[in-house]
Amino acid sequence: MHLVTALERWQQLARTLSYHTYRYHVLDEPEISDAAYDSLMNELRALEEHFPQLCTAESPSQRVGAAPRSEFIKVEHPVPMTSLANAFDEAEVRKWHERVGRLAGEARLEWVVEPKIDGLAVAITYENGQMALGATRGNGIVGEDITPNLRTVRDIPLRLPVEGSNGSAPRPRYGSWPSFPEHPEVAARLEVRGEVYMKIQDFERLNQQQAKVGEKVFANPRNAAAGSLRLLDSGITAQRPLSFFAYGLGYIEGVKLTSQWEMLGYLGRLGFPLNPHIRFFTDFEDVIAYAKEWMTLRETLAYEVDGIVLKVNDFAIQKRLGVSGREPRWALAWKFPASEAVTQLLDIWVNVGRTGVLNPNAVLEPVEIGGVIVSHATLHNEDYITERELRVGDHVVVKRSGDVIPKVLHSLPEMRPAGTVPWQMPATCPTCGEPVVRAEGEANHYCTNAACPAQLVRQVEHFVSRGAMNIDGLGTRLTERFVNEGLIHDVADLYFLQAEQLAELEKLGRKSAANLVASIDASRARGMARLLTALGIRYVGSVVAEILAVAYGSLDELMLATREELESIHGIGPISAQSLVEWFSREPNRELIKKLRQAGVEFASHRTAPLAEGDAPLAGLTFVITGILPTMSRDEARVLIEQHGGKVTGTVSRQTDYLLAGEKAGSKLTKAQQLDVKVLSEEGLREMAYREDL
């Protein structure tokens, strides 16, 4: 075949394939069978094999992924990707509405309401109709180039306009998009923003597959989407069932659009998938009414929605309202209440933590909450249980919000079955049988046996975890066997394990044993910060460990540091300093360090400079902290903020950007509300600080 004939046939095939991809994925209205589609694709591939020059980046064949990369390249967003201000109830939403009304002046306001899709924000640049770049949001200023990965997402057009998309853009459930000419002009350059997500069913299927082959299972669809998108091997991304909804523009050159609603219509016409539940309103009361419908609507959808987004329609008014901090004033996320359900408390079992703390856990009659089956919940400590008068057999209200471990809120004593008794912490350790004590002034009970096997198992789990030494192939079961069979007495013993010796263990096998030993071996070189994190010293998490690694350069230097010296380091508080000095002064710990050294574990730091300015997601922001945060102390929160470039002050003023508030926040919260200072939860803070890690 001649190249010219081949080219003609290729163009025909490419157009036909991209049309059918669009029918199938975006419109959900396929016209041809999968088999017919495959045969067209096979012909296209065969042609490209013969004439490699035909195989361009926008060929439908490229949906299968490209050669793996060794790292992600950072890209700066030409227009920052802001986040959204949150509201949690109607009163807050009305307050926002009033404020917008005040700031917008005389203008008549129109509204667009969109679901807040729980996935991952991306920005996709098109040049002359061709997809040129796809990036993650990152910290909003700098993201990562994930172009090959995004090319594999079937919903995302590789070329604009998509063949066959004219006039058949997915329609909103009510009303219609503004009309565009038959062939809308394709902007010379535009950056489309939207959410990559995974449908709940796809997520479940993926997890089943993953579990079957012994691979990582994901906690929720959002994590699955994020994990799949950020793979260096886009060939694997191509096999992950990812979907996309467009909801915005970073910029557009050459085409004039004047409102959100018009823009959505334009994007739909070009071939982008739009959520069919997006609606347009002129009366804010209708916005509120629609929002209320969402409380039930969300349960019926095939994907997870964590709230709805209210947007001022008119771009000129949006511009007038502007941005405050990192959040535009013209948009608001109305978050759904955390989901709750009633179920039965079947048992309370106590597990022993890394430091010997006894953690009571609720074993629940499995119940579905927000699409996830919940069968366990944390009960924190004995006080938590007695304060709530929880008894085994009770019906309890369980709450799940986002990724956090579900909580038992309270019991329903009116439904209490006969014969239940109040719960008590066992007097002896459930693992080793040694006595349990409750430390003076503390809520926790401890197992008094330093050699308790359960503690060692937890220590090893922490030591090998991803944020620490990152050792693959050593799960809890295997760790328990190593401990019970006396193969290890502390974490350093891991480094003395021999493949031959492990291969003799029942059911482990030669190959896994060799892999495990290789993985342990590789972990020797992780460096000071990881090692320090892995040691599990109280109040020394990964953030503090990073700071210390930069400050001291090696574990040996750190061991010589005094409390005063440690405290003088920016980001290290008195509590961490105290804890470190105490830990290093204890003889068994010094022995452990010695053993790790003998094992050839690297004590030097890889990192010699703190995070660069531009990488700091909280740069330029001022925080005040108040109340009891769910998982960190205020000190830890301060370190987290400072490590990510933010500043913490003691009093709320007009200069404050955010009040980080936990439970029992008092006068500072009132003051913040008076001054219209944004209030942030711990979860919100983590989101802001760690978004860059996605």
The angle subtended at Cα 341 by Cα 339 and Cα 345, nearest 5°, is 135
Gap between the terminal Cα atoms of the chain: 47
Structure tokens at 313: 């329609």
Q: CB-wise, 248 or 527, nearer to ligand IVH?
A: 248
CA 311 to chain centre: 24
Q: CB-wise, 322 or 433, nearer to ligand IVH?
A: 322
Residue 386's φ and ψ, nearest 5 degrees, are: -70, -40
Q: CB-wise, 329 or 462, nearer to ligand IVH?
A: 329
Scan for tokens 């080793």, then name that residue: 432
Give the interface with ligand IVH as residue ranges (CB under 6 A): 82-84, 114, 116-117, 121, 137, 195, 247-248, 309, 328, 331, 333
Q: CB-wise, 61 or 83, nearer to ligand IVH?
A: 83
The distance of closest approach from Cβ of residue 371 to ligand IVH in the complex, given in angstroms and rounded to an integer, is 17
Q: CB-wise, 116 or 530, nearer to ligand IVH?
A: 116
Spatial separation of the C-alpha atoms in residues 122 and 119, rounded to whole Å: 10
399 is catalytic: no
Catalytic residue among 116, 335, 399, 668: 116
Q: CB-wise, 121 or 160, nearer to ligand IVH?
A: 121
CA 116 to chain centre: 15
Q: CB-wise, 137 or 668, nearer to ligand IVH?
A: 137
Spatial separation of the C-alpha atoms in residues 467 and 216, rounded to whole Å: 16
What is the 3-class SS of 258-282, one letter each residue?
CEHHHHHHHHHHHCCCCCCCCEEEC
Handedness of CA 650, 656, 659, 660 (dihedral sign): negative
The angle subtended at Cα 444 by Cα 443 and Cα 445, nearest 5°, is 130
The distance of closest approach from Cβ of residue 233 to ligand IVH in the complex, given in angstroms and rounded to an integer, is 24
- In the chain, what's the furthest Cα-to-Cα distance? 87
Q: CB-wise, 137 or 400, nearer to ligand IVH?
A: 137
The distance of closest approach from Cβ of residue 331 to ligand IVH in the complex, given in angstroms and rounded to an integer, is 4
**H/E stretch holding 127:** strand 120-127
The distance of closest approach from Cβ of residue 245 to ligand IVH in the complex, given in angstroms and rounded to an integer, is 7
The distance of closest approach from Cβ of residue 294 to ligand IVH in the complex, given in angstroms and rounded to an integer, is 13
β-pair type (120-127, 189-197): antiparallel
Structure tokens at 17: 């394939």
The distance of closest approach from Cβ of residue 194 to ligand IVH in the complex, given in angstroms and rounded to an integer, is 8
Range 130-133 contact pairs with CB under 8 angstroms and sequence separation of 24 or more: 130/57, 130/58, 130/158, 130/159, 130/160, 131/57, 131/58, 131/156, 131/157, 131/158, 131/159, 133/75
The distance of closest approach from Cβ of residue 442 to ligand IVH in the complex, given in angstroms and rounded to an integer, is 38
**H/E stretch holding 102:** helix 90-104
The distance of closest approach from Cβ of residue 338 to ligand IVH in the complex, given in angstroms and rounded to an integer, is 17
CB 268 within 8 A of CB 222: no
C-alpha distances in angstroms, 60 versus 22, 241, 394?
11, 17, 57
- Comparing every residue's Cβ against ligand IVH, the nearest one is 121
Structure tokens at 28: 């959900």
The distance of closest approach from Cβ of residue 323 to ligand IVH in the complex, given in angstroms and rounded to an integer, is 9
The distance of closest approach from Cβ of residue 67 to ligand IVH in the complex, given in angstroms and rounded to an integer, is 29
The distance of closest approach from Cβ of residue 115 to ligand IVH in the complex, given in angstroms and rounded to an integer, is 6
Closest CA to 145 of 164, 123, 167, 166: 123
**What single letter denotes the amino acid at residue 92?**
E
Residue 659's φ and ψ, nearest 5 degrees, are: -105, 115
Spatial separation of the C-alpha atoms in residues 107 and 317, rounded to whole Å: 8
Q: CB-wise, 317 or 474, nearer to ligand IVH?
A: 317
Structure tokens at 161: 């306009």
Structure tokens at 379: 């009960």
The angle subtended at Cα 217 by Cα 214 and Cα 219, nearest 5°, is 165
Q: CB-wise, 305 or 350, nearer to ligand IVH?
A: 305
Q: CB-wise, 396 or 618, nearer to ligand IVH?
A: 618
120 Cβ contact list (under 8 Å, min separation 6): 136, 137, 195, 196, 197, 222, 225, 226, 229, 694
The distance of closest approach from Cβ of residue 401 to ligand IVH in the complex, given in angstroms and rounded to an integer, is 15
DSSP symbol at 428? B
Handedness of CA 430, 431, 432, 436 (dihedral sign): negative
Tell me whether the omega of the peptide bond preceding residue 161 falls within 30 degrees of 0, making it cis: yes
Q: Which residues of 205-216 are buried (b: 16+ CB within 10 A; e: fewer)?
A: ebbeeeeeeeee
Q: CB-wise, 84 or 263, nearer to ligand IVH?
A: 84
Q: Using CB atoms within 10 A of its CB, is residue 377 exposed (0-12), middle (13-18) or buried (19+)?
A: buried
Q: CB-wise, 297 or 397, nearer to ligand IVH?
A: 297
The distance of closest approach from Cβ of residue 120 to ligand IVH in the complex, given in angstroms and rounded to an integer, is 6
Kindly list the catalytic residues.
116
